[in-house]
Copies of this chain bind each other. A is one copy, B any other.
Amino acid sequence: MPATRELAGLLGLNRTTIAAAYEILESEGLIAGHVGRGSFVTGNGSTTGAGTDWTALLGHAGQEASGPAGGAPFGPAGELISFVMSRPSRELFPLDDFRASCAAVLARSDLADILQLGSPSGYEPLRRRLLDEARRQRLAGPGDDLIVTNGCQQALDLVGRVLLRPGDRVVVEDPVYTGLKNLLAGMGAQLVGIPVGPDGLDTDRLERALSREKPRFIVVTSNFQNPTGATLPLAARRALLDMARSAGVPVVENDSYGELRYHGEPLPAIKELDDSGSTVLVRSFSKVSFPGLRVGWAVGPKPLIDRLRHAKEASDLHTDQLSQAVLLEFSISGRLEAHRQRVLRAGAERLAATLDACRRYLPAAARWTQPEGGMNVWVRLPEPLDAGELLPRARKEGVAYVPGRYFAVSRPEPGALRLSFAGLAPDEIRTGLRALGRIVEAGLEDSRRSFDPAPALV
């Protein structure tokens, strides 16, 4: 390694900063300092023996994920106004209510049972309550059962595990949540993307895909789809269900956002409309309460849930019981519903601020969706702008978003971007979109200039 003085000069940083960085590297065993000789890279432990060639071994597994989570431009936000994460606002967490729910659980006489090994089906009192609720809401019939999972993500994972064989086709929305894309691709599935318009996925295309592609299953987001915010209208839900039923293709209804409707009439879930036992519905506590507690569930036909339970046991035995018990108490006590009402009020304000600021600050040729809930608005910038290319400039101006291409299945939309608004206060939303508007205008200006005929050289 260069001497600290030398590197400090090279990078224009204070020498103590460099020394501190070297200290961290040394404490992690990555470099070793030798008095009078300087610092040396210790070399990677995995290459010191004959041993295992991990690169060769891992190269074949085809599990590489891609997406915004790891990418440098989406790293820690700093002073940024970040529209990057589709997650609830930390500031709205009702900490005292959460503490009260924990206290109630800790005071219970059966606390030891919560700490003991549990069931792959879930913590029974929670499972029972969720199933009763699902029955009351006509989301579960006599042929259905329910399993608790680590959020929606694990429910989708378990469905993939029990249904997919490598090479199988799966119908998904296009664009779609990167976590689903990576999950299915990692399992060796071939994704068949169905375009999502302002009214959800295109059912004509779906019909063609069902007959041509013989997919193993369909994953559809009924409400406030991630990334577009689109909701599938009632007629489209019925049509989708009819098509899936006659093709004998199961429907996985991903409904992480359904409880976050800020206005408009709630629609019946596809699961509710389905009396043929073809649908499994996936929901979670994460978007409406605390995503750091990983609790979701799947409700669907018993033969499927039985198999999900086996897959769950193989995956991780069962979902954490402390969090299941706390969320059950949070729900039974009425605190969840009270919190949901606060989240709905805040969400309505934030959505309105986003749509209003889009109107005010984005150029006339830009288009964006008009969600009635959820956490995401999908913006299409006018041609020839590329949202990915604009991002570095946007970050320099203090605003970040996820370019649309991260969500593309087979129809890249270079001009698209996702605005996740739920974690930002209305003021931040306005400031962020004002900055974005300036950058977009500047980008358009640049593009016009670059298309000007070159002046004569004189």
Residues of B within 8 A of A17 (CB): none
CB proximity to B under 8 Å, residues A294-334:
294, 301-304, 307, 310-311, 313-323, 326
Kindly identify which residue among B29, B144, B316 contacts A150, using a CB–CB cutoff of 8 Å.
Answer: B316
* A3–chain B nearest beta-carbon distance, Å: 21
In chain A, residues 172-217, which have Cβ atoms closer than 8 Å to a Cβ of chain B?
179, 182-183, 186
Q: Is A450 close to B, CB under 8 A?
A: no
Chain A 53-86 per-residue mask, 1 if CB under 8 angstroms from chain B, else 0:
1110110110111000100000000000000010
> A115, B293: Cβ atoms under 8 Å?
yes
User: Is B317 within 8 A of A51, CB to CB?
Assistant: no
With a 10 A CB-CB cut-off, give which of A48, A313, A323 has the most chain B CB atoms. Answer: A313
Q: A163 to B60: give the CA distance in the assembly, Å.
A: 8
Within 8 A of B (CB), among A310-369: 310-311, 313-323, 326
Contact, CB under 8 Å: A45 / B117: no
The stretch that binds B, out of A232-240, A272-280, A410-418, A436-444, is A272-280
B183, B277, B321: the one within 8 Å of A49 (CB)? B277
Copies assembled:
2
Size band of the interface chain A makes with B: 35 or more
| Contact in complex: B42, A142 (CB < 8 Å) | yes
What's the Cα separation between A112 and B96 when bound, in Å? 11
- Whether B151 lies near A57 (C-beta < 8 A) is no
Give min CB distance, A323 to chain B, whole Å: 5
Q: Which of A221-229, A245-253, A398-406 contacts B (4 or more CB under 8 A)?
A: A245-253
Report the minimum CB–CB distance from A160 to chain B (whole Å). Answer: 9
Please state if B45 and A275 are interface contacts (CB–CB under 8 Å): yes
Q: Are A301 and B45 in contact (CB under 8 A)?
A: yes
Question: Are the CB atoms of A304 and B186 closer together than 8 Å?
Answer: no
- A246 CB → nearest B CB, Å: 6
A153 and B313 CA atoms in complex are apart in Å by 9
A310 CB to nearest chain B CB (Å): 4
Give the shortest distance, in Å, between A292 (CB) and chain B (any CB): 4
The residue in chain B whose Cβ has the minimal distance to the Cβ of A54 is B303
* Listed residue (A85, A163, A186, A314) with the most chain B CB atoms within 10 angstroms of its CB: A314
How far apart sit A322 and B292, CA to CA, in the bound complex (Å)?
7
B residues near A303, Cβ cutoff 8 Å: 46, 54-55, 58
One of A87-95, A260-268, A380-388, A425-433 at the interface: A87-95
> Does B116 lie within 8 Å of A90, measured CB to CB?
yes
Residues of B within 8 A of A311 (CB): 63, 186
Bound: A25/B95 CA distance, A = 40
Residues of B within 8 A of A276 (CB): 46, 48-52
10 closest A-B pairs (Cβ-Cβ)? Answer: A45-B143, A49-B276, A51-B276, A46-B277, A29-B142, A150-B316, A45-B141, A292-B321, A115-B290, A65-B310
List 22 A-B pairs, Cβ < 8 Å: A29-B141, A30-B142, A42-B142, A45-B141, A45-B301, A46-B301, A51-B278, A52-B277, A54-B301, A55-B303, A61-B162, A65-B310, A85-B117, A151-B317, A154-B316, A157-B316, A182-B314, A183-B314, A186-B310, A292-B320, A316-B316, A322-B326
Binding site for B on A (CB under 8 A): 28-30, 42-55, 57-58, 60-61, 63-65, 69, 85, 87-88, 90-91, 93, 95, 98-99, 102-103, 106, 111-118, 120, 135, 141-144, 149-151, 153-154, 157, 161-166, 179, 182-183, 186, 245-246, 248-250, 274-278, 286, 290-294, 301-304, 307, 310-311, 313-323, 326
